[in-house]
Amino acid sequence: MTDPVRLAKRVIEQMHCSRREAELYIEGGWVRVDGEVVDLPQFMVSDQIVTIDPDADLQPIEPATILLHKPVIAQVGPWPVTATSLVTPDTRWAEDDSGIRTLKRHFAALTSPLPLDQDASGLLVLTQDGRVASRLSEDADRIEQEYIVEVSGTIAPDGLQRLSHGLSYQGRALPSCKVSWQNETHLRFAIKFVRSGQIRYMCAQVGLTVVSAKRIRIGRIPLRKMAPGEWRYLPASERF
C-alpha cells in the first residue's frame, strides 16, 4: 500500500496541472475515487483509482440558490435547519431544467432570507449566494409574495377591505395588499414583507381561521409543479 496523499496532489500528478486547477477539478465534482465523486481536495487517497471526467470544466463553482417546496413540518426546530435536511440529491425535482450539475457543496451553508412558518407550506428560498440573500432581505418590503390561504368561518362584512388595507400587526400599520377569493374557502394574498404569524393574525381580525397557507410565488419566481419536499436550482436566467 502506498502512503496516503491529498487527492489534489494525485490529480496534479495525473493531469500535470497546477494546484489551483486540481482543486477546481475536485470542487467541480469532476473527480471520482473508486467510482464515487469526491469534492474535497484534502481527501486522502492511497491505492484507490482516481479518475477525472474527460468533460471537466475548470470554471469556478458559483454559489447555489435552491427553491424548495417546503411541506408543513410538525417537528419543532429552527428554520432553515429543518428545511435544509430535506434538500438531498434524491429529492431534486425531475423536471429541473436549470442545467446545473448537482454537487454536494451546494447543500452546505444555506440561508433562508424569506422564511416560512413551520405550519405553512410552499416556496422557500435557500441560498449560498450573498447577492441573493441581500436582495431578498433588503428589498423584502418591495418584493411581492403570493399565498393561497384556506380559511374557515364567516368573514366580516368589510373583511376583504380590511385585509387589503387598515390592519396593524405587532404595533405597525400594515401596507396595502391585494386579497381576493379564489373560491368559497380559499383566499389569495398578494402581499409584501410578511412577518411570522401575520397572515393568520390578519384573518383572525376579520372572523376567519386559517386552515392552511401555501406560498406559491416570490416576485417573479413561481413554485411550479414541484411536489412537497422537492427542489430545483434557481438558474442565472431567473430573477426575483
Compare 84 and 90 and report the one with higher pLDDT: 90
| CA 127/CA 129 separation, integer angstroms | 5
* Bridging pattern class, strands 208-218 and 144-153: antiparallel
- Asked if residues 1 and 48 have their Cβ atoms less than 8 Å apart, the reply is no
Mark whether 149 and 131 lie in a shared domain.
no
Distance between alpha carbon 149 and the CA centroid of its chain, in Å? 21
Mark whether 202 and 157 lie in a shared domain.
yes
Mark whether 229 and 125 lie in a shared domain.
yes
Domain holding 183: CATH number?
3.30.70.1560
Mean pLDDT score, 180-196 = 96
Mark whether 126 and 162 lie in a shared domain.
no
Mark whether 135 and 228 lie in a shared domain.
yes
Whether 238 maps to a domain, the answer reads no
Whether 131 maps to a domain, the answer reads yes
19-50 residue pLDDT tens: 999 999 998 889 999 998 998 999 999 999 99
Q: What is the pLDDT of residue 104?
A: 86
Mark whether 121 and 80 lie in a shared domain.
yes
Cα Rg of the chain, angstroms: 23
Domain holding 226: CATH number?
3.30.70.580
Mark whether 135 and 227 lie in a shared domain.
yes
Whether 99 maps to a domain, the answer reads yes
Task: Indicate whether 80 pLDDT > 90.
Answer: no
87-108 residue pLDDT tens: 999 999 999 999 999 998 899 8
Whether 121 maps to a domain, the answer reads yes
Return the C-alpha cell found at 117.
412558518
Task: Indicate whether 61 pLDDT > 90.
Answer: no
CA-to-CA dists, residue 122 to 126, 128, 133, 137, 203, angstroms: 13, 20, 18, 18, 19
Q: What is the pTM of this model?
A: 0.85
Whether 106 maps to a domain, the answer reads yes
Q: What is the pLDDT of residue 186?
A: 98
Task: Indicate whether 59 pLDDT > 90.
Answer: no
| CA 143/CA 139 separation, integer angstroms | 6
Whether 58 maps to a domain, the answer reads no
Q: 97 burial class (0-12, 13-18, 19+ CB within 10 angstroms)?
A: exposed
Mark whether 80 and 131 lie in a shared domain.
yes
Return the C-alpha cell found at 16.
500535470
Domain holding 35: CATH number?
3.10.290.10
Task: Indicate whether 53 pLDDT > 90.
Answer: yes
Mark whether 89 and 23 lie in a shared domain.
no
For the chain, what is the domain count? Answer: 3
| CA 117/CA 210 separation, integer angstroms | 13
Average model confidence (pLDDT) for the chain? 92
Distance between alpha carbon 240 and the CA centroid of its chain, in Å? 13
Q: Which domain holds residue 73?
A: 65-140+222-233
Q: What is the pLDDT of residue 74?
A: 58
Comparing CA positions, the residue from 51, 44, 37 lying closest to residue 2 is: 44
Mark whether 122 and 227 lie in a shared domain.
yes
Whether 59 maps to a domain, the answer reads no
Q: What is the pLDDT of residue 60?
A: 82
Q: Is 35 helix (H, G, I), strand (E, B) or coil?
A: coil
Q: 197 burial class (0-12, 13-18, 19+ CB within 10 angstroms)?
A: middle
155-187 residue pLDDT tens: 999 999 999 998 999 999 999 999 999 999 999
Whether a cis peptide bond, with omega within 30° of 0, leads into 80 is: yes
Comparing CA positions, the residue from 209, 212, 210, 235 lying closest to residue 224 is: 235
Mark whether 158 and 100 lie in a shared domain.
no
Q: What is the pLDDT of residue 77?
A: 53
Mark whether 84 and 200 lie in a shared domain.
no
